[in-house]
């Protein structure tokens, strides 16, 4: 196992300095209010040279360096930046994790040779981050904790994979106890006991250490010396089906991006076919030269592994994104296409199945719905599933087409009572006049217009579900009513007069 850790010591100040390229101030620091006093939280390289350090009071820092530029610390933005950089790190390996507050962890097992070896990979990452405006140190080790400690506390950048345990122990022994990454109290306790570095801990017998500082300390110690396997939590699970293309120069034109997606789809489909699955959800990731990462996702209504169809879907999504403005900047140099969700799909049977009458097949409809969903959003392309629920609003579920097609028409569902053609998403309250409190409506006012009912049908009584956990629901009496102009309404009165409520309320639920 090989892990790469990146340490960004000046992340907070770099975040702001990156914006003003070239015109860096004399000295720059961030401050925050701690218990009523303004104190520095991060300083840049020049400020550090002048003797400023985090924790110093702002007034003292100003006195020492009058030209100091200050900005308020923003831990949230820092955390977002670390997450964004972890996304950026996925250009090297799919297993990249943020290591808050100021680092990244990458699992580069078996990936380093793609970048010319581990030493070259370290150099590549550091120079790329430097070009993006970050101060960075990277290190590779057989365990993540060791790599993390190397990047932060050591000059060694690379530990060989076949290093023996004694060598690792010797290397770790020189780190200060901060490398364990424990809470401040535990570390202070260790210092009080005279333990300064990892070597002190390694020399001591383990049982008293565990008794005094907790089992956590020993776990960390074992992780640091690679005695236990300590996995990282990548920001995204690595998809099993992924295709990738890299370009020496960034792509900026939308046609180039679409053409690349087509080729990526052609690369992806054989993988899907070998595994006997089809893609239900696709994600294309664009890595911009300057570090930004854009993603577009598309869902399909059925398992799909036809390159042309996949490509058409992505092209649709791409042009939808481009309409809103795909900021190409200096161009995208790495493009990835992954099937993030797959479903098993049998090989298509061709030639023996006659196309259904009318020409249109389910395939065609599925294609159409995928294309519409890619552009409009998956939640806006719906299919209607009849449900066995007796409340009218739940009798039909509108399910996004990407989540499966409804079952074919069944006769049992067809014999439903008279229902309106249109239903409001939520019933609209009206004022109705009825001759009796539990009688049919005579007149009602809906949207400020008084309607006089000339014909009606009803009531149809629909009781509230007693098995649910909403005892406040009332029985409804539904009426079909027609007013003088011929408009048809589906009204209901909520609550049985005298039994459930003394003031039943009326609603319009549908029109037809």
Partner 1 sequence: MLRCARNDDDFLEPLFAARRGGLSEIFSARPPDAPAAAAFAFAMALRAQAARGGGALVFIIEDMSAREFGLPYGRGLMAAGVDLSRVALVRVRRPREALWAMEEALKSPGCAAVVTEAFLDARLYDLAASRRLLLAARRGGALGVLAPQGAPAGRVSSAAELRVEIAAKSAPVPSSALPAARPPLSPLAPFLWRRRVLKARAGLLGAPGEIDPAQWRDIAFDPERVAFRHAFPERFPAEARDRPPVAAPSRRRA
166 or 425: CB nearest partner 1: 425
15 or 280: CB nearest partner 1: 280
Burial 329-343 (b: 16+ CB within 10 A, else e): eebbbbbbbbbbbbe
In the complex, the smallest distance separating the C-beta of residue 348 from partner 1, rounded to whole angstroms, is 17
472 or 485: CB nearest partner 1: 485
Phi, psi of 44 (to 5 degrees): -90, 180
Strand partners, 449: 446
In the complex, the smallest distance separating the C-beta of residue 448 from partner 1, rounded to whole angstroms, is 12
Q: DSSP letter string over 238-280?
A: PPSEEEEEEEEEEE--HHHHHHHHHHHHHHHHHHHHHHTEEEE
In the complex, the smallest distance separating the C-beta of residue 437 from partner 1, rounded to whole angstroms, is 15
228 or 372: CB nearest partner 1: 372
Is residue 171 classed as helix, strand or coil in its secondary structure? helix
Determine the Cα angle at 402 with ends 392 and 96, to 5°. 130
Q: Are 48 and 27 in contact (CB under 8 A)?
A: no
In the complex, the smallest distance separating the C-beta of residue 296 from partner 1, rounded to whole angstroms, is 18
H/E run at residue 294 = strand 293-304
Quickly list H helices, 75-143.
Answer: 75-89, 118-131
Strand partners, 450: 445
In the complex, the smallest distance separating the C-beta of residue 346 from partner 1, rounded to whole angstroms, is 21
- Eight-class DSSP state of 176: B
250 or 441: CB nearest partner 1: 441
Binding site for partner 1 (CB under 8 A): 356-369, 371-372, 375-376, 380-386, 392, 395-396, 398, 401, 405-409, 413-414, 416-425, 435, 440, 442, 449, 453-457, 480, 482-488, 510-512
46 or 451: CB nearest partner 1: 451
Return the number of other C-beta atoms located less than 10 Å from residue 290's C-beta: 15
At a CB cut-off of 8 Å and minimum separation 6, what does 19 contact?
A: none
Cα-Cα-Cα-Cα dihedral sign, residues 159, 161, 164, 169: positive
Distance, in Å, from the CA atom of 103 to the CA atom of 98, rounded to the nearest integer, reads 6
Distance, in Å, from the CA atom of 500 to the CA atom of 474, rounded to the nearest integer, reads 7
At a CB cut-off of 8 Å and minimum separation 6, what does 8 contact?
A: 14, 82, 85, 102, 103, 104, 129, 134, 135, 136
In the complex, the smallest distance separating the C-beta of residue 505 from partner 1, rounded to whole angstroms, is 19
Q: Are 331 and 286 in contact (CB under 8 A)?
A: no
Distance, in Å, from the CA atom of 13 to the CA atom of 28, rounded to the nearest integer, reads 7
333 or 370: CB nearest partner 1: 370
In the complex, the smallest distance separating the C-beta of residue 405 from partner 1, rounded to whole angstroms, is 7
In the complex, the smallest distance separating the C-beta of residue 420 from partner 1, rounded to whole angstroms, is 5
23 or 407: CB nearest partner 1: 407
189 or 404: CB nearest partner 1: 404
In the complex, the smallest distance separating the C-beta of residue 75 from partner 1, rounded to whole angstroms, is 36
């Amino acid at each position: 196992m090989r892990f790469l850790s990146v340490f960004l010591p000046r992340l907070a100040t770099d975040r702001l300095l990156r914006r003003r390229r070239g015109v860096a101030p004399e000295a720059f620091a961030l401050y925050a209010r701690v218990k009523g006093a303004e104190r520095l939280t991060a300083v840049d390289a020049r400020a550090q040279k002048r003797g400023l350090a985090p924790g110093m009071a702002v007034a003292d820092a100003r006195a020492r360096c009058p030209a100091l530029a200050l900005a308020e610390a923003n831990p949230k933005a820092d955390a977002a930046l670390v997450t964004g950089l972890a996304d950026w790190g996925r250009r090297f390996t799919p297993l990249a994790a943020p290591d808050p507050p100021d680092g990244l962890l990458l699992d580069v097992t078996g990936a380093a040779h793609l970048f010319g070896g581990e030493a070259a990979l370290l150099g590549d990452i550091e120079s790329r981050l430097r070009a993006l405006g970050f101060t960075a140190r990277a290190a590779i080790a057989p365990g993540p904790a060791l790599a993390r400690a190397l990047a932060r506390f050591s000059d060694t950048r690379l530990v060989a994979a076949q290093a023996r345990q004694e060598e690792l122990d010797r290397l770790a022994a020189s780190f200060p106890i901060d490398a364990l990454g424990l809470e401040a109290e535990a570390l202070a306790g260790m210092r009080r006991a005279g333990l300064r570095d990892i070597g002190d801990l390694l020399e001591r017998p383990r049982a008293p250490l565990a008794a005094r500082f907790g089992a956590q300390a020993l776990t960390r110690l074992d992780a640091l010396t690679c005695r236990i396997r300590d996995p990282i939590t990548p920001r995204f699970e690595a998809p099993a089906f992924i295709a990738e293309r890299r370009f020496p120069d960034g792509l900026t034109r939308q046609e180039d991006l679409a053409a690349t997606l087509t080729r990526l789809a052609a690369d992806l489909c054989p993988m899907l076919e070998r595994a006997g699955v089809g893609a239900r959800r696709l994600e294309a990731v664009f890595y911009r030269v300057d570090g930004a990462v854009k993603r577009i996702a598309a869902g399909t209504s059925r398992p799909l592994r036809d390159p042309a169809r996949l490509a058409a879907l992505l092209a649709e999504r791409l042009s939808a994104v481009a309409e809103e403005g795909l900021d190409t900047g200096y161009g995208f140099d790495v493009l990835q296409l992954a099937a993030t969700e797959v479903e098993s799909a049998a090989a298509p049977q061709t030639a023996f199945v006659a196309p259904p009458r009318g020409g249109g097949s389910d395939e065609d409809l599925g294609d159409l719905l995928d294309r519409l969903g890619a552009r409009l959003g998956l939640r806006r392309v719906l299919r209607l599933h009849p449900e066995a629920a007796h409340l009218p609003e739940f009798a039909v579920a509108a399910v996004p087409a990407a989540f499966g097609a409804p079952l074919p028409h069944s006769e049992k569902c067809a014999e439903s009572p008279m229902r309106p053609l249109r239903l409001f998403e939520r019933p609209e309250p009206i004022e109705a006049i009825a001759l009796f409190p539990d009688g049919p409506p005579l007149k009602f006012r809906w949207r400020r217009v008084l309607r006089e009912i000339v014909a009606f049908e009803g009531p149809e009584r629909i009781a509230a579900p007693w098995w649910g956990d909403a005892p406040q629901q009332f029985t409804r009496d539904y009426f079909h009513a027609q007013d003088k102009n011929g408009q048809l309404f589906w009204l209901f009165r909520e609550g049985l007069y005298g039994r459930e409520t003394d003031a039943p309320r009326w609603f319009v639920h549908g029109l037809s």
